[in-house]
A and B are shown apart, each in its own frame.
Chain A
Amino acid sequence: MPISKPALDVWDSCCLIGILNEEKDKLPALLSQTQKFEDGGALLGIPSVVVSEVVTLSDGTSAEEKVNKFLDNHYVELLQATREVATLSSRMQFRFDSKQMPNLKERAIAAGVPKTNCKLTRADSDILASALVYRASRLTTYDPFLRFIGREYITKEAGVVIDIPDSSWLPFPPPNKENTSGRKLKVVI
């Protein structure tokens, strides 16, 4: 009889660093994911490049030991940069290059991505490729350009959702762009 397998939720470096740096706008949603990992409902996928970026930041600090121990958790799935990942990553970089898609930057800016953040770097494409090769159901990131590419292309083609953590069920959703005007929200019952 086939054995059921958990979902794979791949995290970008900004998620782990957001926790390490105690970022108030991200903490509730990120920490709310803990339960599903500890209960075995999902695995936390961490691509090699994310391990490298997080360990580089924590090395030599008091965080080093705890970060290493955290990575040993049974629900953490370290995603190797295999040949398949490297090949797909290169293809992603080629595909989402401004020479191949001359209007990509323009469209991203129109969708709210900052002008200086409209490039798919090698690390970005490695993370994206890891999520695709390892068939993740979700790539959790706060990066606006990755989320734009996800919305416009990847989710339609491969099904993987690329977005901030799903916290729709939290009692108070974290503040977002739509509510940065300073105006108070009127609650209608």
Chain B
Amino acid sequence: MRQNIPTLSLKIETTGKRNRNVDVDDFLATAEKWLHALKAFANEQGEQVRWEIVGLRKSSALIQVQPVKIRTGKPAAILVKRWDEGIRRIEKTGRPSAKFTPVSLAALKEFVFSVPQNTLVSVGNGFATKHLHVTALTQRRVEEAAQRLPLEQPREYVSHGSVRGRLAVLDSWNPEERSFRLQLPLAPNKPVKCTYRNGALVAELGEGFEGMVEITGQLRYRPDQPWPNTADVDSIRVLPRSPEVSLRDLVGLVRLPEGQDSVSYIRSVRDAD
């Protein structure tokens, strides 16, 4: 193994008098969390690297890796330095290091809390003679740092747009709060609560009752949900109850230039954008 390359290492030893071998499941599980933390750190630094094993010793269950830039194939020495300095600083102060983001800190926390029982886990770099043992103090410090830099929870957002559904239940005729529920075909168990102020929309509601309508207005979305949960409706359009024009009726209505089919036409449009 070359000694002058920047590397990061993870070492797992068993504790106790008999000095037994490290359990392979413990080693792999811990190594996976460690590698995940390294990858999260590299990603958050905007570095596109792959991680190569440069050393693996059976006797002490030690793995040594180096980040290598995908584009150039050269080791990313700065990443090693930032990681090593960062975790040592966190361990010392309980404050997030400047180079750790909420995401990489969360991954680090997951790693330090995954230490198997009756083992001693330490991390280091290829140059440092002194490894950093992951202890209860490390866990506490990392947790403190993570609390200071919590992961940002995705929030609800509002967007102007349209959504289609079956006008199922009229909730209220109160002039101050008129509302109805729209049942979406792809989320039938989560009806959208729609409110409207414009009394003139009552006519559309009557016409579209139990049929399909398209509402337009301010749609409120929960994070990670493709459909809105509430809507402030500006307009309602009643859709035809039976198809007026089917796919078959569209055949041959447009002629693309000679020599172009739909795939090459679309490709030319998109490539020009």
Q: Are B226 and A38 in contact, CB atoms less than 8 angstroms apart?
A: no
Q: How far is the CA of A182 from the CA of B256 in the complex (A)?
A: 26
Size of the chain B interface, CB-CB below 8 angstroms: 45
Interface 0/1 of B174-196, CB less than 8 Å to A: 00000000000111110000000
**Are the CB atoms of A14 and B245 closer together than 8 Å?**
no
Interface stretch (choices B9-17, B85-93, B99-107, B160-168): B160-168
CA distance A20 to B254 in the complex (A): 5
- One of B58-66, B120-128, B132-140, B258-266 at the interface: B258-266
Proximity bits, B16-37, A CB within 8 Å = 1, else 0: 0000000000000000000000
| Given A5-B187, A121-B270, A134-B226, also A80-B161 (CB < 8 A) | yes
Q: How far is the CB of A57 from the nearest CB of chain B, in Å?
A: 6
With A8-B186, A53-B266, A83-B157 as given contacts, are A69 and B244 in contact (CB-CB < 8 Å)? yes
Number of A-B contacts (CB under 8 A): 151
Pairwise interchain contact A6-B273, C-beta atoms closer than 8 A: no
- Knowing A21-B254, A67-B250, the reply to whether A80 touches B162 (Cβ < 8 A) is yes
In the bound assembly, the distance between CA atoms of A129 and B185 in angstroms comes to: 20
In this assembly, does A66 line the interface, its C-beta being within 8 Å of a C-beta of chain B? yes
Given contacts A66-B245, A102-B70, contact A61 B269 (CB under 8 A): no
Q: Is B271 an interface residue (CB 8 A)?
A: yes
Surface stretch bound by A, among B75-83, B108-116, B141-149, B235-243: B235-243
Given A17-B254, A117-B267, A123-B273, the answer on whether A73 and B188 have CB atoms closer than 8 Å is: no
Q: Evaluate contact between A72 and B186: CB separation under 8 angstroms.
A: no
| Shortest Cβ gap from B234 to chain A (Å) | 15
A55 to B20, CA, bound (A): 71
A121 / chain B contacts, CB cutoff of 8 Å: 270-271, 273
With A73-B243, A80-B161, A102-B71 known as contacts, the answer to whether A19 contacts B263 (CB < 8 A) is no
Find out whether the CB atom of B185 lies under 8 angstroms from the CB atom of A6: yes
How far, in Å, is B267 (CB) from chain A's closest CB?
6
Cross-chain contact B261 with A23 (CB below 8 angstroms): yes
Q: Tell me which residues across on chain A come within 8 A of B249, comparing CB atoms.
A: 66, 70
Given A34-B246, A66-B250, A3:B240 Cβ within 8 A: no
Range, interface on chain A: 35 or more
Interface string of A118-162 (1 = CB under 8 A from B): 010111100000000111000000111000000000000000000
Cβ proximity bits A1-40 to B, threshold 8 Å, 1 near / 0 not: 0111110100011111111111100110011011001100
What's the least CB distance linking A99 to chain B, in Å? 7
Asked whether A21 lies within 8 Å of B246 as measured between CB atoms, the reply is: no
CA distance A98 to B209 in the complex (A): 51
Interface residue? B200 (CB, 8 A): no
For residue B212, CB closer than 8 A to chain A, the reply is yes
A106 interface hit (Cβ, 8 Å): no
Answer whether residue A82 sits at the interface, using C-beta atoms and an 8 A cutoff: yes
Q: What are 21 pairs between A and B in contact, CB < 8 Å?
A: A2-B189, A12-B266, A17-B256, A17-B266, A18-B261, A19-B247, A20-B262, A21-B265, A23-B261, A27-B251, A57-B254, A58-B254, A61-B253, A61-B254, A69-B240, A73-B239, A80-B162, A82-B221, A82-B226, A84-B224, A117-B267
